[in-house]
A and B are shown apart, each in its own frame.
Chain A
Amino acid sequence: MQRTPLYDEHEKIGGKVVDFNGWALPVQFSGIVKEHLHTRSAASLFDCSHMGEYSIKGVEAIQKFSDLIISDLTKVPIGRCRYGAILDESAGILDDLITFRMAEDEIYVVTNAGPIESVTKQICDDNDGAVHVSYETAKIDIQGPKSRDHLLGLGFEAATELKYFNATWTEWEGHKILLARTGYTGELGYELFMDNELAPEVWNRILECEGVEPAGLGARDTIRTEVCYGLSGQDFNTEISPLEAAMEPFIAWDTEFIGKEKLERIREKDEYAVLVPIVTKSRRAPRHDFEVFHGENKVGVVTSGTFGPSVEHGVGLARIDREFSKLGTQLTAGPKGLEIAITEVPVYTQGTCRIKI
C-alpha cells in the first residue's frame, strides 16, 4: 500500500488504517459516529493526500483540458471552483473532479485516487502544460463550522474573506499553500494543498488547536452521504453516464468533451435511470448493492447507504428507473424488504458550507 506523508502521524494517534484504493489511510480515530458529529458541530481534520492533483498552465493547455471535461471552464472567474467529470468515449464516468481557476493562465484540478492512471493519461497525454502533481502533493481538509476560526488563529489570513467554492494561493510561514473553501462534507470547510514535506507540520499545528479532532474515511463517507454527494467508483464508474449520476446540471452541452456524442444519444433515447437520495424511517440503513423494488419489480440499486448520525435514520443514494424516481415514492430495498422513500437533496439540511462571512 502507498503511504501518505501523514502515515506516521496517524500511527502515533492510533488511527485505524485500512486499504483505500491502494492507499493506507485511517478509517477512524475515536469512532465514526463521534467524528461525524464533531465535524458537523466543530471542526475535524482529514488526510486526503491520496487524491489526485494536476497543475495546468497556459491558455492553450487549459483549453485542451476544458475539451476533455463535461463542464465549461471559459466562464469560470479567477478564484472560482467548478465541479465536473471526465468521461470515456462511451460516456462512462472515468472520474469526477473539481477545477480551481487560479489565474487567467493557470488551473488546478483535483481528482480521486482510484482511477488515477486512466485520468492522468487523459489529462496529461498530448498536453505539455498539464502536470500530474499528486505524488508530491499533500491535501489536508479542515471541515466544520469552526474551521475558519482555527485557520485564522494559525495565521491563514486568506481564509478571512474566501467565499464558498473559491480558492487562492497563499503564503503561510514562508510556505506556498493552495487554500480552497471546498470539501465534501456540506460544512464550512477548507482544503489545503501543499508539498508533501510540509504536511506533518500543517497537520500537527491544526490538530493542536483546541476543538479540532482527526477524522477518518468512515466519517467522511457518512458525512458526504447525508448531503448526497456521490463517490467516484461507488456511486458512479465507467459503466455509468453523468445523466445517471445526478450530474446533468454540470454538463455544458454547448462545449466539446470526450464522450459527448454517446451522451447525446443517451439523452435522446431518454430511458436512462437517475441517481436519487433515499431515506429510511428507522435507524436501519440501506446498503451498497441492495436491489430496489417497487412491489415485485426490480427498479434500481442502492449505490451508497449508511446510518446518518446527524439525521438519525438510514440515508443513501440509489439509481432508480425514472418512472419510479419521483419525490416521495415508496420502495423497498435489500433481502429483508427495507422500506425506503425517495427524498430531496440534501438529506441533512443544516450544513454550514454556504455561510456568508
Chain B
Amino acid sequence: MFPENLKYTVEHEWVAVNGDTCTVGITAFAAEQLGDITYVELPETGLAGSQGDDAATVESVKAASDVYLPIGGTVFEINEALEEKPELVNESPFDDGWFFKLENVTSSDLDSLMDADAYAAFVKEQDH
C-alpha cells in the first residue's frame, strides 16, 4: 500500500531520497484522512530549517493541518501545480501531489524515519 522506496514520518509525510536531494509530500493515508484537499500553502524556495519545523499548510473541506520538514534542509523547488490543483494531493499523493524538494539535507535525520512496513503498522494503529 505504501511505496517501499520512501521513508515516512509520524506526521504522515513521505521522503524520497534522490541522491543529494529529497522530495517531500504527504501520504495517501493523510490525504484520505483530510478528505478533499482545497488549498496547499507551500514554503518559499530558500526556506532552510531543521527536522520538525513548519514547512507548509494543507487545508481540506473539513480541516487545516500543518506539514513539517521531515528532515533538515533547504527548500529549492516547490510543486507550483498545487496552487491551482490542490486536488492532485488526493489523486496522486506519492507522485504528482508532491510538495517540495530539499537540498543541503541533514542526512542523519533520515535514520529517524520509518520504512514502508513500519509506517503501515503505525497507520494501522492510528486507524483503530
Interface digits, B35-73 against A, CB 8 Å rule (1 contact, 0 not)?
Answer: 110110100000000000000000111111000000000
Instruction: State whether the Cβ of B97 lies closer than 8 Å to any Cβ in chain A.
Output: no
Number of residue pairs A-B, CB distance < 8 angstroms? 39
Picked from B39, B59, B62, B64, the residue with its CB within 8 Å of the CB of A32 is B62
- Tell me whether A285 and B86 are in contact in the complex, defined as CB-CB below 8 angstroms, given that A31-B35, A32-B35, A32-B36 are known contacts: no
Known: A222-B61, A306-B61, A307-B61. A284 touches B36 (CB 8 A): no
A132 at the interface (CB under 8 A from B): no
A307 touches B35 (CB 8 A): no
Bound CA–CA A287/B87 (angstroms): 20
B61 lies within 8 A of A33 (CB):
yes
A3-46 vs B: 1/0 string, CB under 8 Å?
Answer: 00000000000000000000000001001111000000000000
- Pair A218/B61 contact, Cβ less than 8 Å: yes
A118 part of interface (Cβ distance < 8 Å): no
Residue from B38, B59, B63, B64 in contact with A33 in the complex, judged by beta carbons closer than 8 Å: B38
Count class of interface residues, chain B: 10 to 19
Q: Do the beta carbons of B86 and A33 come within 8 Å of each other? A: no
Contact A32/B61 with A218-B35, A283-B86 known, Cβ cut-off 8 Å: yes
**Contact between chains at A283 and B38 (CB < 8 Å):** yes
A282 and B35 within 8 A (CB): no
CB-defined contacts of B39 to chain A, threshold 8 Å: 282-285, 307
23 contacts between A and B (CB under 8 A): A28-B35, A31-B35, A31-B90, A32-B35, A32-B36, A32-B62, A33-B36, A33-B38, A33-B61, A34-B36, A218-B35, A218-B62, A282-B39, A283-B38, A283-B59, A283-B86, A284-B39, A285-B38, A285-B39, A285-B64, A306-B61, A307-B39, A309-B61
A interface with B by C-beta (< 8 Å): 28, 31-34, 218, 222, 282-285, 287, 306-307, 309
